[in-house]
Structure 1
Amino acid sequence: MGKQACIIGLGARTAVGYRAYASAVAVRAGISRIQAHPYMIDKSGEPFMTALHRPLEVHERRKRILSLATSAFDEVLEALPPECKTRLPIYLGLPELGPLFTREDARWISEGLAQHASPLCTPELAILTEGHASGMAGLEQAVAALRSGEAECCVVGGADSFMDPDLLESLDEAGRVASSSNRWGFPPGEGAGWLAVCTAEFARRFKLKSLARVAGVATAQETHGMHTRTVCVGQGLAQAMREAAAKAGTPITRQYCDINGERYREDEFSYAILRVPSAMFVNAVDYVAPTDCWGHTGAATAPLLMMLPIISEDRGFSPGPAPMVWCGSESGLRGAAVLHFNQEVAR
């Protein structure tokens, strides 16, 4: 029991809130910050419809990512006792590498976060440039480190921003951005999310409240990539779902996912649901997809999604004790995690 992974803290910065609780409550209330960008226009000559976090005073993409990441990091650090800050493993998910996000960008953000964290803790930083599912990969690594005894407490996060002229233009040219002329697209967003994760024994020792237990987490690879000529039939997503649910050993009560308006993601979900046992879900089509509130949040997706059921449970709105979170990266990585509630640790 002592090696169980517990979530004891949250941190977030999104278009709908400066902190985790504010962001989650805004999503539950259906508050949306998707609106016309103040100066960026699409190929039709209309403003991009984005979930822009207006208070940010920097414009360069990597600077926006770092600013979001450090703000949310400060919040999640509030949940940790001083004893674990002497050595703190940090897993940060970032966008996938490519022409518009380079290895140098990832290094710059990593160094910036390490510099920001150094006065607050002794960071041991691991960067995962896995895109939308990178936070799930980070959680899987963190849980493995806790169960092996390599660490007792760590933080897992993700940060991303689509507010870059070249990136928006390339997405628009590919027909992927939602607009008046494109129904099957997503609203670009930005944000950062963090989870503080520790062993149950660590939580008991320091009398920390367990917000949720990570009952199962798994990643898999989808061989039929997004936006290619091949047809995705949900094999990778279904595998991640099955493995996470098998580890949890309980029916899933609600799903939280990154369905964002793109046809690909909806089709993949439809196929994946047919590939898993029907008894795996209480209701296979009961899901929450908050992209219509805070936009598509890229590499921040997994930790931001996980805070939604946790805060719903904390406020008495949870539909059940075993929610599943799942998401997928463009390169093919798929990830799923099942949380369990009613697992008080503090005494």
Structure 2
Amino acid sequence: MRWDNIEEHLDEAAFLWERRQRALCSPEFSLVDVEKIESRLEAHVDALGLATAPQVLELLEAALHEEPARAAVAVLTLMARDDAAALGVLAAFISDGAREQREALAGALGTRACPRIEPMLRELVKEGAPWAQSVAMDVLAQWKRGPDFDLQPWWCSEDTQVQAAAFRWSARVPRSMPSWGLQRGLESPEDIVWQSAAEAGLVHAPGQTWAECVERVRLRRGPLGFPLVVLALGGAARELTWVVDVLSSGTWTREALWALGFSGRLPAVEACVELLRREAPVARLAGEAFSAMTGLKLTERFVLQPSAPDDALVPLEEEDLDADLRPRPEDDLPIPEPDEVSAWWSRTRREWRPDGRFLSGGAWTGSSLLAALEHGSARRRPVHALELAIRSRGAHVVSLHAWAVQQKREVVGAQLAGKFSDQGFERMQGLVTWAKAPSNAGVSPRPAARERSRPGSLSVCALGMASPLGDSAVESCAASRAGLSRVVASDEVHVWDADAQEMRAASGCVIPVITEGFTGLARLVRLATAGLRDLLRGVPSLDMPRTGLFLALPDGSLVAAGAAALLKEADVQGEAMEESFGEAAGALPQRCARHLLPILARLIPPLGGLASHRLYFEGRLGYFHALQEARKQLELGGLDHCIVGGVDSLMDTPVLEALKATRRLKAPQQPVGCTPGECAAFVLLGRERCAGPHSTPCCMLEGPSVTATPRANGAIAPHAGMALAETLSGALVGSGVDGRQVALSIGSLNGAERQAYAWGLALVTLRSRGLLTNPAEWFPALSFGEIGAATAPAALCFAVRAFELGRVPGRHCLVWGADDDGGAGAFVLTGPFPGGGDVR
């Protein structure tokens, strides 16, 4: 993997980790929002995990001792690599060097279980330093791995962090807890130990812990934050009155307001309305609590516009030098407009039953609690998760540090279970049942991979690729999924920038080193060689006498159009200008037909034994014709495997000049246009799955369809969108796939007007038929630039890798391509099982 990619992956992942950590406690984010951040974060971590150079391990080991975000990413990557060397580095760090990074370490390890380091964590609990014991217990608790030993020594530990971690572990594991152990924690003078013990007690022995919380609030003894929340969640009218009374204390006003927001009772709402006119910090909390109970969104007329900050310096003698200046999550809360909110409440109040409990404007139910966990404010989720654990007696504990996908699975599991207590915490005997979610709700378990494929289906056996983002399919697709892009300036072609009043170099995505200094046939040879070598590394034992090669290449029409445009503009018939475009426009396809395969056979000797080969000089559509021919040959039985690929470079100087001349090149004065790129992408197809690193899981290519249309002579073909729609429908019918089941669409949209017109019209047509209702979308041009004949095979490589990593939220991917004259091609790729994540 290229070093610049590795460094960017690490930097971007660290930035996204910090965003995730802030989002997890932000009032402006929900679990759904966090999942979007995590999908990008995981893409970078996956890419780092694929880097195999020894220097990468050294980089990750050094990052473990840097800022917390980079340390967390290093931990995530070492877990993702899951090899002996990586886990050895992680084990040494956890055992000896992580004290200053304990928070980052616990947060990263808590995202997902890693069974290979579980024995080491258990040993740390028994023999490690106190700080390591507490981290190990917290991580095992997040993984929901119960202790295989008595926790009595840790409940009695002299270290408060160890004591607290032991009680937290007890709270998350459904096993009995002796009353003396709970009592020891509830008698602790340390608040962190008392609260951890109280959480465990509420799950295992709610009556005893409830009495302790009531006593603390009544006597106002010790920190009241947690006891107030407990009374608000599980108390009746009497306990709620005690919580409301604390509002006037001054000392615990904020804690009481926070607790009241989870009560959902009418007196709590009334108390919040009365505090809307207080100073901004109190008004914010009152508004948050009011909104959580009533469902009123504090936006537009219901919020006060923030006043301009006062930049004047506070006199030194008046400044609080001990004040905590770090931003807090509640600082992002809006300040409610008291008159508007009060007026709204006056109109709405009569809809509330005096004895009811409400959440987000509706009656409090099990379903509404679970909905709040998934879609509500991330800042409030820990309390909702606590209530779920208490009312389910520990059966449903949401791992708040785990990846959002895992948390959603846990929420769905609670929804499917359908029962927990709705009684007060003092006596929880009854069970409440709500409507169960359908069996396909949320994240479904993976079904077994299918054993048989449809007639005519082709098995994807191996991938090969060379792109501006990497020298292999694995690296290129990983960098693309992470959103990387490499746009550089061309020294050969310049465009006019009217704003700067100067000529500027045209920009595009070029492959470093491989194509530098090469043009025409030589450039295509360099690209094809790099891509084929990557593919053959995955299948070294491929039987060449039973293998064919079908290759899509540029047709030269773009350069011909560019030459015609320049000649027309110059109004001359200059032989020199015609000669400068001659090779790419006309002679290049002829030279490729004569020399490309012999040269490749000399550079890659195994290719000399190919059973057959064929070249397609048809631009973007060539690959779809190549697929149809490959399927035909495989069905006839003459071949066992086919290498089907595409090679193109729009960064070659004649092509860049043609793009500029035809006004298709994106430039300061031409914002609607494409960013040129270059790529070689190959896929090994067969009737049966063959051995190789890319063969598991097995993806099936089905229903290749292509429609050619007459050239439109430079204009946008009016039939382009309809032709694309019919081609996509044909691919779906040919594969037997319901278009509504397509989870991912990958196409040739590249920023040019023609592509946008065709795709927009096709999308409207298909949606009117109930197809492609809401698939995720990706376009190779976003990462590699416009790559012409290599677009479809690059899309296929990306889709296969997404299926391998479980990042496609379904089983079917639709790949399509359209040329500039209205022709179109498409096929369906079917994975062995649906993934649980996001493509990007």
TM-score (normalizing by structure 1) = 0.90
CA change 1:66–1:43 in 2 (3 A) is farther
Q: CA RMSD in A?
A: 2.3
Mapped partners of 1:84, 1:260: distance in 2: 37
SS for the counterpart of 1:253 is: strand
Distance in 2, matches of 1:83 and 1:334, equals 32
Q: For 2:474, which of 21, 29, 41 is the aligned residue?
A: 21
1:135 corresponds in structure 2 to 623
> Structure 1 regions of 5+ residues with no counterpart?
none
CA distance in 2, matches of 1:274, 1:258: 17
- Of the three residues 570, 573, 591, the one matched with 1:105 is 591
The SS at the match of 1:275 is: helix
Deviation for aligned residue 1:332: 4.5
Which residues of 2 match residues 203-218 of structure 1 at below 5 A? 203=690, 209=696, 211-218=698-705
- Name the structure 2 match of 1:51: 509
1:43-100 Cα deviation digits (max 9, x unpaired): 5521111101121233213211111111111121233363522232000100014442
**Counterparts of 1:224 and 1:39, CA distance in 2:** 30
Task: Give how far 1:265 is off.
Answer: 0.5
Asked whether the 8 Å contact 1:21–1:311 carries over to 2, the reply is yes
Residue in structure 2 matching 1:283, options 761, 774, 798: 774
Q: What is the CA distance between 1:233 and its match in structure 2?
A: 4.3
Deviations 1:173-225 (A, max 9, x none): 2110011111110011001000000002x649xxx645310122111123463
Q: Deviations over 1:131-186 (max 9, x none)?
A: 01211221121122222323221110010111222221221121100111111100
Residues 1:225 and 2:712 aligned together: yes
Identify the match of residue 643 of structure 2 among 155, 162, 175: 155
Matching of residues 172-191 of structure 1 within 5 Å: 172-191=660-679
SS of the residue corresponding to residue 71 of structure 1 reads helix
1:88 alignment partner, one of 547, 553, 558: 547
Q: Is the 8 A contact 1:253 1:282 kept in 2?
A: no
1:132–1:330 contact (8 Å) kept in structure 2: no
Task: Give the Cα separation in 2 of the matches to 1:322 and 1:185.
Answer: 30
1:241 aligns with 2:725: no
Matches within 5 A, 1:111-130: 111-120=598-607, 122-123=609-610, 124-130=612-618
Q: Provide, for residues 230-279 of structure 1, a one-character-per-residue CA deviation record: whole Å limited to 9, x for no partner.
A: 42441221122111101222232110011000011011011112333633
Q: 2:495 matched to 1:42?
A: yes
Task: Please say if residues 203 and 210 of structure 1, whose CA atoms lie closer than 8 Å, have aligned partners that are also in contact.
Answer: no
Cα distance, 1:35 vs structure 2: 2.3
Given that residues 620 and 789 in structure 2 are in contact (C-alpha distance below 8 angstroms), is that contact kept between their aligned partners in structure 1?
yes
Query: Which residue pairs with 2:752 in the alignment?
Result: 262
Superposition deviation, residue 40 in structure 1 = 3.0
1-structure distance, mates of 2:647, 2:720: 29
In the other structure, the counterpart of 2:532 is 73
Question: How many angstroms does 1:104 deviate by?
Answer: 2.2
CA distance 1:298–1:288, change in 2 (3 Å): same
Q: 1:226·1:332 contact (CA, 8 Å) conserved in 2?
A: no
Q: What is the alpha-carbon distance in structure 2 between the residues aligned to residue 256 and residue 72 of structure 1?
A: 21
Q: Which has the larger radius of gyration?
A: 2
Whole-angstrom distance in 2 between the partners of 1:238 and 1:17: 33
Correspondence for 1:33: 486
Q: Which protein has greater RCO, CA pairs closer than 8 Å, 6+ apart?
A: 1
Q: Percent of aligned pairs with the same residue?
A: 23
CA contact (8 A) 2:731 2:827 kept: yes
Q: Distance in 2 between matches of 1:321 and 1:221?
A: 29
Q: Are the aligned partners of 1:92 and 1:128 in contact in 2 as well (CA < 8 Å)? A: yes
Is the Cα–Cα contact under 8 Å of residues 696 and 804 in structure 2 kept in the other structure?
no
Letter of the structure 2 residue corresponding to residue 328 of structure 1: A
| Structure 1: distance between partners of 2:761 and 2:799 | 24
One-letter amino acid of the counterpart of residue 505, structure 2: P
Q: Contact conserved, 2:650 with 2:656, CA < 8 A, in 1?
A: yes
- Structure 1, 97-106 or 215-224: larger mean CA deviation: 97-106
Instruction: Report if the CA contact (8 A) 1:131-1:330 is conserved.
Output: no
Q: Check whether the contact 2:792–2:816 (CA below 8 A) recurs between aligned residues.
A: yes
CA distance, structure 2, for counterparts of residue 17 and residue 252 of structure 1 = 28
> Relative to 1, partners in 2 of residues 1:225 and 1:115: Cα closer, same or farther, differing over 3 Å?
farther
Per the alignment, residue 764 of structure 2 pairs with 274
Indicate conservation of the 8 Å contact 1:217/1:338, yes or no: yes
Q: Secondary structure at the match of 2:538?
A: coil
Higher mean C-alpha displacement, 24-33 vs 249-258: 249-258
Which secondary structure does the structure 1 equivalent of 2:651 belong to? coil
Give the aligned residue type for 1:195: V
1:82 aligned counterpart, secondary structure: coil
Deviates most, 82-91 or 274-283: 274-283
Which moved further from structure 2: 89-98 or 269-278? 269-278
Taking structure 2 as the reference length, what is the TM-score of the superposition? 0.39
Q: Bigger shift: 222-231 or 293-302? A: 222-231
**Equivalent residue number for residue 169 of structure 1:** 657
Amino acid at match of 1:213: M
Q: Deviating runs (4+, > 4 A) in structure 1?
A: none
